[in-house]
Amino acid sequence: MSTISPVLDRLDKNLDQSLERLFGLLRIKSISTDSDYAADCRKAAEWLVADLKLIGFDASVRNTPGHPMVVAHHDGPAGSPHVLFYGHYDVQPVDPIELWENDPFAPAIKEVGPDHKVITGRGSADDKGQLMTFVEACRAWKQVHGNLPCRITILFEGEEESGSPSLKPFLEANAEELKADFALVCDTGMWDRETPSICVGLRGLVGEEITVKAADRDLHSGLYGGAAANPIRILAKILADIHDENGHITIPGFYDGVEETPSQILKSWETLGETAETFLGPIGLSIPSGEKGRSVLELTWARPTAEFNGIIGGYTGKGFKTVIAAEASSKISFRLVHKQDPEKIRAAFRKFVEARIPADCSVEFHPHGAGPAIQLSYDSPFLAKAKNALSDEWPKPAVTTGSGGSIPVVGDFQTYLGMESLLVGFGLDDDRIHSPNEKYELTSFHKGQRSWARILDALTR
């Protein structure tokens, strides 16, 4: 007998009750950035603990210097994997409140088109609706089978929207308790309405600020121009030297640890239909600026970058001043992929810069954080199983994607728990998270529950 079919049936039958439960959570104003709502945040944590206890989890509210964590444990059959599920119960503020069509904390079902319903309210997509898809999958499984298919630990955070100040210390202090075989992180989206996505690559980041110093004072460009070093000229030369004419980064050793993306992955990305036009058109551009001969998805998901985030020097007000500045500076960030070592990149960059500083000038470096890329192996068995499970549920097969940005919790799981993450979520680009009129597709909520049931089933086979 199939173990999954009755669970899916149960989820279908329970949809209305699961919505009632979600609405209960959505009504709690757990805005983490505003201390006026601290009690609401605790209330949301307590609500979740109570609900998880009903399913049979050993759940508790865990205090931190900020908003509490929710930690819950449930055993699984001997020999089954141990997964950690992560989500967050805190939400963004609701300002500007006057732009909301409905009370952000009075969730409702809204029919926006034929056979098209959405759940409205703050947190519906980010992240209460998403985390409850997993809770509902566990509930249905328990109801049908009397147990869960594997050992599950749940971690719900209450500070994700306010920079997660308590997360690292909490992971460090509770590493033994929280460490699992891998993590399931549910805070991302679908590729599109019909295509589920698993994000397995997140770029790392190295930030640097450099200040080039020349004369010990600002100079008159008439009296000194042509004789005195100009720090803007030196800085421009350094920045210009970082990319060659093919968009390749020229810093020696920069590409150490960068791997070529497997051709079948590249091919799967091609099928997504994202082109330079579709990706860059909406922001008024059309030509990819990175390494030539690579698609925009590869450039943003699987290739490292050097970007200049800010530059300043000399006179920048209205009009003109014939000055040669004493110094000029730039903020520069490198997005890293695969096994690039952030501190090696930082050292190589500094050497590259120093080699371009004239003997009578100097440079000061100011570091701005560093984190390695996260890359799950494309041939991980967990990934293959999760992809198949998602593909069974949705109209189109699941795609393996990357993300150009960083999701800090994934790096923290890697660092403090030595554990990889699969990022699976059911949000859509138009969910308006962080904005007025946030919504979550009813389909996302329903098929999201079914997806998790399928994934849990697949992971334990």
Query: In the complex with its own copies, which residue's Cβ is closer, 145 or 366?
Result: 366
Query: In the complex with its own copies, which residue's Cβ is closer, 110 or 331?
Result: 331
98 residue type, one letter = E
Find out whether 69 and 172 touch, Cβ atoms under 8 Å.
no
Neighbour-count burial for 70-88, b at 16+ CB within 10 Å, e otherwise: bbbbbebeeebbbbbbbbb
Q: How far is the CB of 432 from its own copies (least distance, A)?
A: 17
Task: At 219, list the tokens.
Answer: 């100079």
Query: In the complex with its own copies, which residue's Cβ is closer, 53 or 368?
Result: 368
What 3-state DSSP class applies to 96?
Answer: coil
Phi (first) and psi of residue 172, to 5 degrees: -65, -45
Query: In the complex with its own copies, which residue's Cβ is closer, 335 or 385?
Result: 335
Residue closest to 182 by CA, chosen among 414, 373, 439: 414
Find out whether 393 and 451 touch, Cβ atoms under 8 Å.
yes
Q: How far apart are CA 290 and CA 333, in angstroms?
A: 14
Residue closest to 426 by CA, chosen among 404, 444, 401, 399: 444
Q: How far is the CB of 135 from its own copies (least distance, A)?
A: 29
Query: In the complex with its own copies, which residue's Cβ is closer, 123 or 288?
Result: 288
Q: How far is the CB of 294 from its own copies (least distance, A)?
A: 9
Q: How far apart are CA 112 and CA 118, in angstroms?
A: 7
Q: How far is the CB of 133 from its own copies (least distance, A)?
A: 25
Give alpha helix (H) positions in 328-399.
342-354, 381-393
Phi (first) and psi of residue 173, to 5 degrees: -70, -25
Query: In the complex with its own copies, which residue's Cβ is closer, 50 or 223?
Result: 223
Q: How far is the CB of 279 from its own copies (least distance, A)?
A: 6
Query: In the complex with its own copies, which residue's Cβ is closer, 142 or 303?
Result: 303
Query: In the complex with its own copies, which residue's Cβ is closer, 25 or 242?
Result: 242
Query: In the complex with its own copies, which residue's Cβ is closer, 100 or 254?
Result: 254
Residue closest to 427 by CA, chosen among 82, 129, 60: 129
Q: How far is the CB of 282 from its own copies (least distance, A)?
A: 9
Find out whether 162 and 386 touch, Cβ atoms under 8 Å.
no
Q: How far is the CB of 105 from its own copies (least distance, A)?
A: 28
Q: How far is the CB of 253 from its own copies (least distance, A)?
A: 19
Residue 452 neighbours by CB under 8 Å, 6+ apart: 133, 134, 136, 137, 138
52 residue type, one letter = L
Residue closest to 437 by CA, chosen among 187, 122, 188: 122
Sign of CA dihedral 371, 377, 382, 385: positive
Q: How far apart are CA 303 and CA 293, in angstroms?
A: 12
Q: How far is the CB of 207 from its own copies (least distance, A)?
A: 5
What 3-state DSSP class applies to 261?
Answer: coil
Q: How far is the CB of 237 from its own copies (least distance, A)?
A: 4
Query: In the complex with its own copies, which residue's Cβ is closer, 71 or 232?
Result: 232
Phi (first) and psi of residue 45, to 5 degrees: -60, -45
Query: In the complex with its own copies, which residue's Cβ is closer, 113 or 284?
Result: 284
Find out whether 340 and 372 touch, Cβ atoms under 8 Å.
yes
